[in-house]
């Protein structure tokens, strides 16, 4: 479990961290220059899509009925989540099928339990009735674990992104609308999206090298609407446009800034760097992450670090002065409002933008 900055640094330097980054980069590379129709179905993508269909069926059985003017999440989400938890291991076993049946029984059961936890956490938090980039990370780690146990193979990556991941996003959009999920650790206007990050990361890759589409094309509402079903990046922009009803420059200045990039290649590369800094290396996000045997929490032997510690004590003392000074001004009101602190508002409830949009529409 990651609790302190020291824990976080060990995670950043770990094999598990590198595996997650490498997997995300490989998935991104697999969709360069490809629209959503380029995904080739395999037996694996089919069972994963069927799994997501079953998640949709669980939503059908727990439709939100609560009314009122609250802009926070609807409690029926907890009923959905309870059934998801109950069925998660069954869903995982259906995805695994006969692959790995020859493995030792207890080992397979342990893997299934671990996969089930990542799957559950992929759809939000039942207590807080929220969803954010940390939950999205859990779905990627669910896929990574399937790769590690031999269910997903490298040649299937394009289909995993364009068929499975896009379907996961559509399920999440439905959950967000149905239960008014609160955005977990939203940046507000200085974030990419209240809920998601990876559709932008994969979407920029899709548009890399496009003959006509430029980063500034996101400001053309007709183009965005026309191509939202073909490119993840445009789907995200369209979703934001429909929910906020405001100019992109006003409600999403971060995306507006990014649209000034010279090429999609630059955005593609920048998204990976940003994901590392704003998700994988953020304590408020990673402190909720669950480790197991497939993605391990690697610990240095602190009993054998005495000598290294002595050598570093002086450096630590020097750094402490600088760190203390930074922390002392971290919350001063004169600081720019666009400092990137994705997830730093952990613990503070943030109203659902979907709830706000619905309330405003009803009022009219």
Can you name the residues that pair with 125 across neighbouring β-strands? 130
- Which whole-number Å values give the CA distances from 189 to 7, 77, 194, 338, in the listed order? 30, 26, 9, 8
Q: Is the pLDDT of residue 306 over 60?
A: no
Q: Is the pLDDT of residue 361 over 80?
A: no
> How confident is the model at residue 250, as a pLDDT?
82
Q: CA 268, CA 279: separation in Å to the nearest integer?
A: 16
Average pLDDT, the chain: 85
Q: Determine how many CB atoms are found less than 10 A away from the CB of residue 234.
A: 24
Residue in 175, 138, 159 with CA at minimum distance from that of residue 47: 159
If you count them, how many residues does the chain have? 364
Q: Where are the beta strands (DSSP E) in the chain?
A: 130-131, 182-183
Q: CA 185, CA 340: separation in Å to the nearest integer?
A: 11
Find where tokens 């992104």 sit: 161
Q: CA 302, CA 304: separation in Å to the nearest integer?
A: 5
Residue in 188, 232, 141, 230 with CA at minimum distance from that of residue 356: 188
> How confident is the model at residue 298, as a pLDDT?
77
Percent of the chain with pLDDT over 90: 69
Enter the tokens of residue 148: 């590690």
Q: Determine how many CB atoms are found less than 10 A away from the CB of residue 98.
A: 6
Enter the tokens of residue 345: 């508002």
Tell me if 135 sits within 8 A of 123, measured CB to CB.
yes
Q: Determine how many CB atoms are found less than 10 A away from the CB of residue 219.
A: 15
Q: Is the pLDDT of residue 282 over 50?
A: yes
Q: CA 138, CA 267: separation in Å to the nearest integer?
A: 24
Grade residue 346 by pLDDT with cuts at 50, 70 and 90: very low
């Amino acid at each position: 479990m990651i609790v302190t900055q020291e824990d976080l640094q060990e995670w950043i330097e770990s094999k598990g961290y590198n595996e997650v980054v490498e997997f995300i980069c490989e998935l991104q590379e697999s969709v360069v220059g490809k629209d959503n129709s380029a995904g080739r179905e395999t037996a694996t993508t089919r069972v994963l899509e069927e799994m997501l269909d079953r998640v949709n069926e669980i939503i059908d059985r727990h439709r939100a009925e609560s009314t009122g003017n609250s802009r926070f999440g609807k409690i029926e989400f907890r009923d959905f989540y309870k059934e998801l938890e109950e069925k998660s291991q069954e869903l995982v076993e259906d995805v695994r099928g006969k692959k790995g049946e020859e493995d030792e029984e207890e080992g397979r059961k342990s893997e299934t339990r671990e996969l089930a936890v990542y799957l559950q956490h992929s759809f939000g938090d039942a207590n807080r009735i929220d969803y954010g980039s940390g939950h999205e990370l859990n779905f990627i780690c669910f896929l990574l674990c399937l790769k590690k146990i031999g269910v997903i193979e490298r040649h299937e990556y394009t289909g995993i992104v364009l068929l499975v991941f896009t379907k996961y996003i559509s399920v999440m959009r439905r959950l967000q609308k149905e239960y008014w999920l609160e955005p977990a650790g939203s940046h507000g206007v200085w974030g990419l999206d209240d809920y998601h990050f990876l559709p932008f990361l994969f979407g920029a890759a899709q548009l890399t090298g496009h003959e006509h589409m430029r980063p500034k094309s996101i400001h053309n509402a007709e183009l965005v609407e026309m191509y939202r079903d073909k490119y993840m990046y445009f789907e995200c922009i369209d979703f934001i446009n429909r929910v906020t009803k405001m100019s992109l420059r006003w409600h999403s200045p971060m995306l507006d800034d990014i649209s000034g990039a010279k090429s999609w290649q630059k955005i593609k590369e920048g998204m990976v760097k940003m994901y590392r800094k704003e998700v994988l290396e953020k304590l408020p996000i990673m402190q909720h992450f669950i480790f197991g045997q497939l993605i391990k929490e690697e610990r240095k032997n602190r009993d054998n670090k005495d000598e290294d510690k002595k050598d570093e004590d002086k450096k630590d003392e020097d750094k402490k002065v600088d760190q203390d000074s930074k922390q002392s001004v971290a919350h001063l009101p004169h600081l720019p409002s666009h400092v990137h602190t994705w997830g730093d508002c952990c613990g503070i409830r943030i109203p659902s933008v979907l709830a706000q949009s619905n309330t405003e529409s009803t009022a009219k």
